Structure 1
Amino acid sequence: MTASKTNGTASSDWPFPNPRVVRDEYLPKLAIKPWLSAHTPERILKNCRVVDPASGKVLDGLKSITIADGKIVSVENTANETGSNVIDVEGNYVSPGLIDCHVHITATPGVKTMLELVKLPDQLTSLRSTFVLKEMLARGFTTVRDTGGASKIIATALEEGLLEGPRLFQCGKALSQTGGHADFQSAVSGGNQTGCCGGHSESLGRVCDGVPQVLKAVREELKAGADFIKIMMGGGVSSEADPIDMIQFTEEEVQAITKTCDRMGNKISTAHAYTPAAIRHAIDNGVKAIEHGNFLDAPTARLMAEKGTFLTPTLACYGIMARKPFEDFLSEVGRPKNLEVMEKGLEALKIAEEAGITVCYGSDLLVSMHALQTEEFTVRSQVLDSPTILRQATTNAAKLLKQEGKLGVIAPGAYGDLIVLKSNPLEDITVLDQPEENLLAVIKEGRTSMTRIKDL
């Protein structure tokens, strides 16, 4: 019998006739996970004007950024580098990849109202989320933090290159009490239903009541790979049964969650909270971060600063939900609540910065609103300067994610996550809200995701 090469080895006693010869180039596809690819080879971007969010300055002189194995190796003055792996950025601005700390990637386009959204089948939601992720990366967001809906499965698919999109940090399903912000079950008197979508995975959150249930819920989310835990601590805009000033979960329930986070991997917990009362309820019981905070006052802001509590405001979303074509997205109950929180958001943002809170960037958009993800930059620019806002979407966000030195910076050892811009975002942050005009390239871990630059 003729010797054949199978899986890279020769055999003279193959029991079947004419075995297929497996050439070397086919071998990678026989791996357990054939979609995994090696990091890109070394690349050098030269003639870069490097934006440093931490200092709020552009580094002196033109720089060359060397990236290998997905990470930045060096940032040095541009010399006369040549070679096929050298790309001339031609003096354009290079900034760290953007980080959005409040997204819902499973709140996908394809529906018009919140009620339709929470009824979507889980598999359809997952498939549609791939579109949302790809679009976020194309807008320059190389990392996102999902605050209800995403899973470790999606995060792993992104990490392995099976999906195209940003690096994903996720909390699984947000935790809500019955009648809380993530309970979208119809209000039926005397019913024995288990809350939002019957407790299934077809929504942004899950319902749990009492210490035993919240313990089980937080343990299940952490076991499933949640990077942090989200707790609904106060009323919300899109949920109908809870006014904005409602306080949710008892002290015992919240402490059961936060202590479990500490004990199961030292995970951070964050709270959906608009009012000072809800924020204090969260902080007093061990929560480390706040989402929204639209009614934040100066005393509560000082408390947050003293405790090192993070804040991720989400301001643009309220204006977006109040105008065409999304004016019917919220129910009749949600629309006045939306206007209520929109009026106070900018004032709260200013109070937070003045108090010294570490503020992060968040968009909190749903359905087709995701396309307006960068509008948050323009809204914040009404009360804050450009360097401050850029830090919120880079270095501050990296602190919240416990990724200091890895994300939000252009420095040796950091991930090779970069965006190339025509204009300097430190002078005018709103250039980031005009990606079609100013965004020239997006690079994640050394791989080009979008480019208008020759050879990049």
Structure 2
Amino acid sequence: MPSVEHIATNGSAPSTNGHAAHDHPFPGPSHTRPSLLPKLALKPWIPAAPAGLVLTNAQVVDPAAGKLLDGLQSVVVKNGKIAAVYPVDEPDLLEEEAGLRKVDLDGRYICPGLIDAHVHVTAVPGVKTISELVRTPEEEIHYRTIYILREMLLRGFTTVRDTGGASKRLANAIDEGLVVGPRLFQCGKAISQTGGHGDFTPAQSGGEPGCCGGHSISLGRTADGVPQVLKAVREELKAGADQIKVMCGGGVASATDAIETIQYSAEEIQAITSTCRQMGNVHTTAHAYTVEAIRHAIDNGIKGIEHGNLIDKETAVYMAEKGIYLTPTLSCYGIMVRPPFEDFLPPDGQVKNKQVMQQGLQALKLAEEAGVTVCYGSDLLTSMHALQTEEFTVRAEILSSPAILRHATTNPAKLLRREGQIGTVAPGAFADLLVLNANPLEDIRVLDRPENHLQVVMKEGRVHFSTMATLPTQEELEREELLKLRKLSRA
């Protein structure tokens, strides 16, 4: 029997008796309606490659160098990737533009799509407190996650790393175009000891119900002892986790662990990190605030630290020497204590929140000065996601705009092992591009005001948001094409 793709591609398929499909006495209406053929594909939601174009007269931001490219540039986009970047008056490369639609940006700025290296896309709106969040039915979470992802993309984040809650299936749905959102790297469920930061089961004596003491609720799962953590990490890797996250210290939102706690034994962490090395050198990262928790994680093989608010100078130097990535998440603490989120945390959580908030900026400064590779992270939950860009403004209190832009482009590209593919405007990279009316290298806070400064969001050459009449979104282009087809069919 012919495949649907064969029918969609060729318009007819051979029948089992050797005659062409159009000779069949009952050919079916699809053969007289060519516009339906693509929708007969096995996965009809997979979009066609966007049309190529040339963005010309643009000022191109180079985050790695912390400067603009010299002079006005043309950026050629073909098949979802950047084919060329060159000065507008470069004669030797003008053939790259042949047959492509040209859009004059009139001096606007092209910046790489942003990367948020610490999100929880399944921590969805619709609830007021952390306790309500962990009780939200899974099906509701799935539907609400679609909203979160689309909003992230429209704010300019073309890639995100989910550090607990998302799945490979969700990432695949985005890649296939079924769900609109940023490119998603995910850790599956974060791995936590019982009573650790990822344990949101109700506290009760006598233990919890469930197989072998392991549980999975909301953003994390629990596992205790070497056999259990081995099984947990192997299950997450089997399910397609891009990275593995381990809870190695206390947290703000969890009810049963103080910030100062050190979680998991050395043997348990080593079991996780050795397995990740054996299973393709998978990156590992740890939730940790204190010096003790951070060193405990690093000394047992962890390669990244989330938060790190309480580090000292010696620990920052140690991290730089070891090549450890740091993803601070500073804006979330201030957001969680001001209206309308002042009741999101329980009273003990508010105390812990204040504890880690006070030293967060100083820790960021120490890490940057020591040469640690620092990444951008928002770590927001529920309706707080709308404030995802506030992290730019918070970091601007102590760091330069070029440094912060690297946090959201160059550095997380390294963390995700996608250098040259994301976080840059260069030939061969994905055409993840933002068009801005202001230079983020002069004032990074323009990224915290997308309603004022963000004019175009493009992911893999597909325009998802635009305020420019000369650069319509893919939806607008498809709507125009559909109207043309309908007019032709009526003619």
Shift of 1:199: 2.1
- Partner of 2:484 in structure 1? none
Within-5 A mapping of 1:55-74: 55-74=65-84
SS for the counterpart of 1:327 is: coil
- Partner of 2:173 in structure 1? 157
**1:123 lines up with 2:132 in the alignment:** no
**1:20 lines up with 2:29 in the alignment:** yes
In the comparison of the two structures, how many residue pairs are matched? 449
SS for the counterpart of 2:45 is: coil
CA distance in 2: counterparts of 1:65 and 1:371, whole angstroms: 30
Q: Note if contact 2:190-2:219 (Cα within 8 Å) is conserved in structure 1.
A: yes
Match of 1:248 among 263, 266, 270: 263
CA distance in 2: counterparts of 1:455 and 1:212, whole angstroms: 59
CA distance in 2: counterparts of 1:132 and 1:37, whole angstroms: 21
Q: Note if contact 1:238-1:330 (Cα within 8 Å) is conserved in structure 2.
A: yes
Shift of 1:373: 0.3
Q: Note if contact 2:80-2:430 (Cα within 8 Å) is conserved in structure 1.
A: yes
**Amino acid across the alignment from 1:20:** P
The structure with more helix, counted as a fraction of residues:
2
CA distance in 2: counterparts of 1:162 and 1:325, whole angstroms: 33
CA distance in 2: counterparts of 1:82 and 1:42, whole angstroms: 10
CA distance in 2: counterparts of 1:70 and 1:314, whole angstroms: 31
Q: What root-mean-square deviation, in Å, do the aligned CA atoms of Structure 1 and Structure 2 show?
A: 1.8
Q: TM-score, normalised by structure 1?
A: 0.95
SS for the counterpart of 1:333 is: helix
Shift of 1:399: 0.4
CA distance in 1: counterparts of 2:83 and 2:138, whole angstroms: 41
SS for the counterpart of 1:296 is: coil
Q: Note if contact 2:12-2:22 (Cα within 8 Å) is conserved in structure 1.
A: no
- Partner of 1:437 in structure 2? 452
Q: Note if contact 1:273-1:279 (Cα within 8 Å) is conserved in structure 2.
A: yes
**Amino acid across the alignment from 1:126:** H
- Partner of 1:349 in structure 2? 364
**1:46 lines up with 2:56 in the alignment:** yes
Offset from partner CA, 1:433-454 (integer Å, 9 cap, x none):
0110011111100110111112
CA distance in 1: counterparts of 2:188 and 2:146, whole angstroms: 17
**Amino acid across the alignment from 2:301:** G
Shift of 1:40: 1.0
Offset from partner CA, 1:309-346 (integer Å, 9 cap, x none):
00000000000001000000001110000011000100
CA distance in 1: counterparts of 2:354 and 2:21, whole angstroms: 74
Within-5 A mapping of 1:137-286: 137-194=153-210, 199-200=215-216, 202-286=217-301
CA distance in 2: counterparts of 1:271 and 1:405, whole angstroms: 26
**Amino acid across the alignment from 1:8:** S
Q: 1:12 to 1:286 in 2, by over 3 A?
A: closer
Structure 1 regions of 5+ residues with no counterpart? none
Q: Note if contact 1:89-1:453 (Cα within 8 Å) is conserved in structure 2.
A: no
Shift of 1:194: 4.5
CA distance in 2: counterparts of 1:21 and 1:256, whole angstroms: 57
**1:8 lines up with 2:12 in the alignment:** yes
**Amino acid across the alignment from 1:375:** E
- Partner of 2:88 in structure 1? 78
Q: 1:404 to 1:236 in 2, by over 3 A?
A: same
Q: Note if contact 1:185-1:198 (Cα within 8 Å) is conserved in structure 2.
A: no
CA distance in 2: counterparts of 1:11 and 1:401, whole angstroms: 48
- Partner of 2:463 in structure 1? 448
**Amino acid across the alignment from 1:108:** V
CA distance in 2: counterparts of 1:28 and 1:306, whole angstroms: 53
CA distance in 2: counterparts of 1:8 and 1:83, whole angstroms: 31
Structure 2 regions of 5+ residues with no counterpart? 1-6, 14-19, 472-491
- Partner of 2:112 in structure 1? 96
Shift of 1:27: 2.1
- Partner of 2:321 in structure 1? 306
**1:136 lines up with 2:146 in the alignment:** no
CA distance in 1: counterparts of 2:22 and 2:184, whole angstroms: 49
Shift of 1:84: 6.5
CA distance in 2: counterparts of 1:349 and 1:233, whole angstroms: 20
Offset from partner CA, 1:152-172 (integer Å, 9 cap, x none):
011000001111110000000
